[in-house]
Amino acid sequence: MRVWWELARRTFRRYSTYRAATLGGLIPNVMFGYLRAYVLLAVVVQAGAVGGFDGRDVVTYSFATQALIVPIAIFSAGGSSIDLAERIRTGDVVVDLYRPIDFQAYWLAQDLGRAAQGFVTRGLASFVSGFLVFSLVVPTSVSGAAAAAVVLVLAVLVSFGFRYLVALGSFWLLDDRGLTLIGGVLAMFLSGFLVPVTFFPDWLQTVAAASPFPAMVQLPVEVFLGHHGPAGVARVVATQLGWFALLVVAGRRLGASAMRKVVVQGG
């Protein structure tokens, strides 16, 4: 247990040293937060509330999704957020495989550290920037805040599950760029990051619901906005846990076959 905590903590500290990147990354976060807020606001002003989202909701949505960029690693599904793919490419992964700890859990612990650091710095800062112009929605009760925290952590877990799978693809493909790109695009679109899933036409909402992506962004933000009562929150948590379990199992299966492959090749 101690090992995981230490891994996460050290990764947190490692990412804290990239101060320039954090600060610099904040600028596009704020900018896009505002741009998308205005666009979504225009839609709601025109059409009235959409899918239960009113003006304040969509504006908050825009900043909340920007805050999630780093923790959920939307733009780097499998890419830079998990060094795994890189280490497979260079062969350094062999060192990781020799370690006496569970391979998948090893990467998960690090990812949690990374996500925590990103959220606490860039995430919170970019969300708060919205308050300069807008009156954002925030949880108003302790239970609301607690629910939001829980679904946030679960969202990171689901996202890790997916990104780990994509990264494992490097064992076969060696070049992860194509897979990362596709994974990233799918994630961005179907998670509700670009446009809330509730804005999608019905058929597209069905497609999204059949994927793990909304569990990474749309659902947690809905809980944050307070759109779900206790039963609804329970359902969201169940959905997230379900996807996480599925992705973890898939990750372990894929990891096992990757390891067989590595051994067979005498690598």
Partner 1 sequence: MADTVLDDRSAVGPIRRNAHLFRHLAGARIRSDLQYRASLALFTVGTLVITGLDFVAIAVLFVQVPALAGWSLAEVAFLYGTAGVSFGLADMAVGSIEKVSERIRRGTFDILLLRPAGTLLQVVTDEFALRRIGKVLQPAAVLVYAVLRLDLGWSVRTVTLTVVMVVAGAFIAGALWVVTASATFWTVEGREAANAVTYGGSALTQYPLPLYGEVVRSLAFVIPIAFVSYLPSLEVLGKVDPLGVPVALRYASPLIAVASVAVATMTWRFAVRHYRSTGS
Q: Please report, as ranges, the residues that interact with partner 1 according to CB under 8 A.
A: 20-21, 23-28, 31-32, 34-35, 38-40, 42-43, 46-47, 50, 133, 178, 181, 185, 189, 194-195, 199-201, 204
Listed in sequence order, the residues at least 6 apart from 58 whose beta carbon sits closer than 8 Å to its beta carbon are 37, 40, 41, 43, 44, 50, 196
- Output the smallest distance, CB 113 to partner 1, in A: 22
- Output the smallest distance, CB 102 to partner 1, in A: 35
Q: Look up residue 100 and give its amino acid.
A: P
- Output the smallest distance, CB 194 to partner 1, in A: 4
Q: Look up residue 85 and give its amino acid.
A: A
Answer for the pair 233, 147: CB distance below 8 angstroms, yes or no: yes
- Output the smallest distance, CB 3 to partner 1, in A: 34
Nearer to partner 1, 26 or 149 (CB): 26
Nearer to partner 1, 46 or 265 (CB): 46
Which one-letter DSSP state was computed for residue 122?
I
Residue 252: exposed, middle, or buried by beta-carbon count in 10 A (0-12, 13-18, 19+)?
A: middle
- Give me 36's structure tokens: 């998308």
Answer for the pair 255, 103: CB distance below 8 angstroms, yes or no: yes
Nearer to partner 1, 34 or 164 (CB): 34
Give the Å distances, CA to CA, from 123 to 11, 30, 168: 17, 10, 27
- Output the smallest distance, CB 65 to partner 1, in A: 13
Task: Report the alpha-carbon distance of residue 15 to residue 30 in Å, rounded.
Answer: 20
Nearer to partner 1, 127 or 200 (CB): 200
Which one-letter DSSP state was computed for residue 134?
S
Nearer to partner 1, 66 or 240 (CB): 66
- Output the smallest distance, CB 30 to partner 1, in A: 8
Nearer to partner 1, 181 or 245 (CB): 181
Listed in sequence order, the residues at least 6 apart from 105 whose beta carbon sits closer than 8 Å to its beta carbon are 4
The single residue listed with the structure tokens 């795994």 is: 84
Nearer to partner 1, 174 or 181 (CB): 181
CA 11 distance to own-chain centroid: 17
- Output the smallest distance, CB 237 to partner 1, in A: 28
Residue 49: exposed, middle, or buried by beta-carbon count in 10 A (0-12, 13-18, 19+)?
A: exposed
